[in-house]
């Protein structure tokens, strides 16, 4: 079963609104969360509902982007309607590697290519550099195969080889988190890992783990 790696953000207190909620100017001690991308709540003037999620967090004079929705064009349009300037944000955070949380980062990187981005240490979805375990179920079996059927024709040591990240975050100012870290004063990011994804309609097998049937997603 594939595991889901995600990031949880911990801040001291919050005030959240729907997609349509007008921004409130925070004082230095306030936390204000403005939904930029959502499929819920009333739809305010100039804002568009869509499947996905993104929010802007304002905390002690700092501005943080948390996720970026699905469609970069919708993300850009909603930001402009809310008069939010992504060149002014301090950091950006990716909660996890699902498409409906990262699509708008294409727009962010077009206007603020040097912004610091924190990501889960997820190789499969986000391209985190990883020592890939090329382990054999039967050690030595690969050497019995013709060279064309072996990794790199059997001419390289591949155990522990570090993968090179590619994709949208390839040349960005990113940090893949493997442990909790205070990224701004009073703002701590906590990486989490869960093998319990989705609602367990298909897995694990009902007869073996019936207690999991219908269980909601347990990851962030």
User: How many domains does one find in the chain?
Assistant: 2
Q: Is 219 domain-assigned? A: no
**What local confidence, expressed as pLDDT, does residue 37 receive?**
97
Q: Is 111 domain-assigned? A: yes
* Same-domain status, 152 and 68: no
Domain hosting residue 152, numbered range: 138-163
Q: Is 68 domain-assigned? A: yes
Cβ partners under 8 Å of residue 188, min gap 6: 9, 10, 11, 180, 181, 182
* Same-domain status, 97 and 52: yes
Q: Is 192 domain-assigned? A: yes
* Same-domain status, 117 and 148: no
* Same-domain status, 69 and 58: yes
* Same-domain status, 17 and 111: yes
Q: Is 218 domain-assigned? A: no
* Same-domain status, 66 and 146: no
* Same-domain status, 41 and 143: no
* Same-domain status, 117 and 179: yes
Q: For 156, which DSSP code?
A: S
Is 66 in a helix, a strand, or coil?
strand
Whole-angstrom Cα distance, residue 204 to residue 210?
8
Cβ partners under 8 Å of residue 25, min gap 6: none
**Which among 85, 86, 82, 84 is positioned nearest to 22, based on CA atoms?**
82
Q: Is 45 domain-assigned? A: yes
How are the residues of the chain apportioned to helix, strand and coil, as percentages rounded to the nearest 5?
Answer: 20, 25, 55
* Same-domain status, 174 and 119: yes
**What local confidence, expressed as pLDDT, does residue 107 receive?**
97
**What local confidence, expressed as pLDDT, does residue 92 receive?**
97
* Same-domain status, 89 and 150: no
Task: Give mean pLDDT in consecutive 10-residue pieces for the chain, a chain of 220 residues.
Answer: 59 47 50 93 90 95 96 98 96 92 96 95 78 69 87 78 74 90 91 58 55 48
């Amino acid at each position: 079963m594939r595991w889901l790696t995600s990031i949880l953000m911990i801040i001291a207190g919050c005030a959240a609104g729907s997609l349509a909620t007008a921004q409130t100017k925070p004082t230095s001690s306030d936390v204000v969360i403005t939904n930029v991308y959502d499929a819920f709540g009333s739809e305010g003037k100039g804002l568009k509902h869509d499947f996905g999620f993104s929010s802007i967090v304002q905390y002690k004079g700092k501005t943080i982007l948390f996720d970026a929705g699905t469609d970069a064009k919708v993300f850009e349009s909603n930001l402009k309607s809310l008069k939010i300037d992504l060149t002014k944000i301090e950091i950006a955070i990716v909660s996890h590697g699902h498409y409906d949380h990262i699509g708008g980062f294409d727009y962010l990187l077009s206007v603020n290519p040097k912004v610091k981005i924190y990501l889960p240490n997820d190789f499969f979805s986000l391209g985190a550099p990883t020592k890939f375990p090329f382990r054999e179920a039967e050690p030595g079996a690969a050497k019995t195969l013709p060279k064309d059927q072996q990794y790199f024709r059997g001419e390289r040591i591949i155990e522990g080889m570090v993968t090179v990240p590619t994709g949208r975050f390839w040349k960005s100012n990113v940090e893949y988190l493997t442990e909790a870290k205070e990224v701004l004063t009073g703002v701590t990011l906590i990486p989490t890992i869960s093998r319990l994804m989705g609602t367990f309609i298909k897995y694990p097998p009902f007869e073996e783990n019936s207690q999991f049937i219908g269980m909601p997603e347990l990851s962030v």
